[in-house]
């Protein structure tokens, strides 16, 4: 079973075997990216990121100019931001998702203490 965190319009949700297609966000990384052509399912893209040791985020796109069709883009380095990208699904590998969720919870707790 793949467990992953995806962000949909700023809300954190878990991704299990049945993927909710969450479009519109892409993680921007400072580092490398690897395009994998012909990946037709975002769940497969998520799994490929999980199995790639240096993958920090993934993006599945309905259309990639480079691939001339659907593609999975694995990203490494440091996740810097998130941006709007129509026709895409993105996420983080499990350990990165846990870190992101912990940081978000800490920010929320700190904000509530004011």
> Which backbone phi and psi does 10 adopt, to 5 degrees?
85, -5
Q: For 66-92, what is each residue's pLDDT tens digit?
A: 778 899 999 998 887 777 777 788 888
Query: What is the three-class DSSP state of 56?
Result: strand
The tens digit of pLDDT for each residue in 10-41 reads 444 444 333 333 455 677 788 899 999 999 99
CATH number (domain holding residue 88): 3.50.4.10
113 in a structural domain: no
The pLDDT of 32-59, averaged and rounded, is: 92
Dist. CA 111–CA 114, nearest whole Å: 6
The pLDDT value recorded for residue 111 is: 87
How many domains, in total, are found in the chain?
Answer: 1
| Residue listed under structure tokens 């399912």 | 41
Please tell me the predicted confidence (pLDDT) of residue 25. 65
Distance of CA 41 to CAs 17, 24, 94, Å?
A: 12, 16, 18
Helix intervals (H) in the chain: 42-51, 94-112
Is 114 a domain residue? no
Residue 46 sits in which domain range? 4-101
What pLDDT, on the 0 to 100 scale, is given for residue 71?
A: 92
Burial class (CB in 10 A: 0-12, 13-18, 19+), 49: buried
- pTM value is 0.68
- For residue 61, is it within any domain? yes
């Amino acid at each position: 079973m793949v467990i992953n965190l995806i962000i949909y319009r700023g809300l954190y949700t878990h991704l299990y075997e049945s993927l909710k297609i969450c479009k519109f966000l892409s993680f921007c990384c400072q580092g490398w990216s690897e395009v994998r052509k012909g990946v037709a399912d975002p769940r497969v893209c998520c799994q490929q990121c999980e199995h790639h040791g240096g993958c920090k985020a993934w993006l599945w796109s309905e259309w990639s100019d480079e691939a001339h069709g659907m593609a999975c883009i694995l990203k490494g380095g440091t996740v810097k931001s998130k941006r709007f990208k129509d026709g895409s699904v993105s996420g983080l590998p499990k350990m990165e998702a846990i870190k992101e969720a912990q940081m978000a919870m800490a920010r929320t707790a700190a904000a509530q203490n004011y």
